[in-house]
Amino acid sequence: MQMPQVQLQSQQAKISLHTTDAAVNIQQPKAEQIIRQPQAEITMHTTPSKLTIDQTQAWNDMDLKSVFKRTEDFVQLGKKSNLEGIARRVQEGKEMMQIEKGGDPIVAQAKRIDERKLKEFAIGWIPSRFAVKIDYQPSDLDINVKINRPEITNTPQKPEFNYKKGQVDTGIAQYQSLKVDFEKLKFYGVNGFEMNI
């Protein structure tokens, strides 16, 4: 017996999608930085050194005295000789006043005068030790340094954003369909009517 058949052929719909990606562009400009370094300020104050050499004693030892020093020495020598002469004459006067006590004061005084020693001669042009006085004051250096801090100026830059939005385009790549087919299907009507469908 032949069984009737219904044949179905279907086709699914297909959707097409076309996508454009989104794009993000970020740029970060460099920050602007200005650095200024002022120079340090240096102040220097110098007190000069001082060297003092005093040769007065050396010149005096070599008998190369100034007029003032020589005059002062003569005054002192005159005073001393005058006092010594007065003392000697006083003593000699006392001896003469006491002549009655015996002795021979005139002869003794004459002997003393005769026995006076002559001045000893010495080398006078060689100065004594440490006759030259030297005094030295070193210089003084005063340094003042003023440090100036660096001056830094920063100007930040905001980032730059560029955004291109994405897009999705949709469409139908294939439409759906349904195909129906019959086989071996007969229609029986009245009076023995028969028909293939």
Which of 149, 169, 186 terminates a domain? The answer is 149
Q: Are residue 118 and residue 136 in the same domain, yes or no?
A: yes
Q: Are residue 5 and residue 74 in the same domain, yes or no?
A: no
Give tens-digit pLDDT for 109-122. 788 777 766 555 55
Q: Are residue 99 and residue 185 in the same domain, yes or no?
A: no
In angstroms, the Cα distances linking 42 to 47, 145, 146, 147, 186 are 17, 5, 6, 9, 123
Q: Are residue 124 and residue 181 in the same domain, yes or no?
A: no
Q: Are residue 101 and residue 187 in the same domain, yes or no?
A: no
Which contacts of 13-18 are long-range, i.e. CB under 8 A and separated by 24 or more positions? Answer: 13/172, 13/174, 13/175, 13/176, 14/172, 14/173, 14/174, 15/170, 15/171, 15/172, 15/173, 16/170, 16/171, 16/172, 16/173, 17/168, 17/169, 17/170, 18/168, 18/169, 18/170, 18/171
Q: How far is CA 53 from the centre of its chain?
A: 40
Q: Are residue 162 and residue 143 in the same domain, yes or no?
A: no
pTM over 0.85: no
Q: Are residue 129 and residue 63 in the same domain, yes or no?
A: yes
Q: Are residue 12 and residue 101 in the same domain, yes or no?
A: no
Say how far apart CA 71 and CA 58 lie, in whole Å: 18
Give the range of the structural domain holding residue 111, as residue numbers without chain letter: 38-149
Q: Are residue 59 and residue 117 in the same domain, yes or no?
A: yes
Q: Are residue 60 and residue 87 in the same domain, yes or no?
A: yes
Give tens-digit pLDDT for 37-63. 999 999 999 999 999 999 888 888 777
Give me the number of domains the chain comprises.
2
Give tens-digit pLDDT for 134-164. 999 999 999 999 999 999 999 999 999 899 9
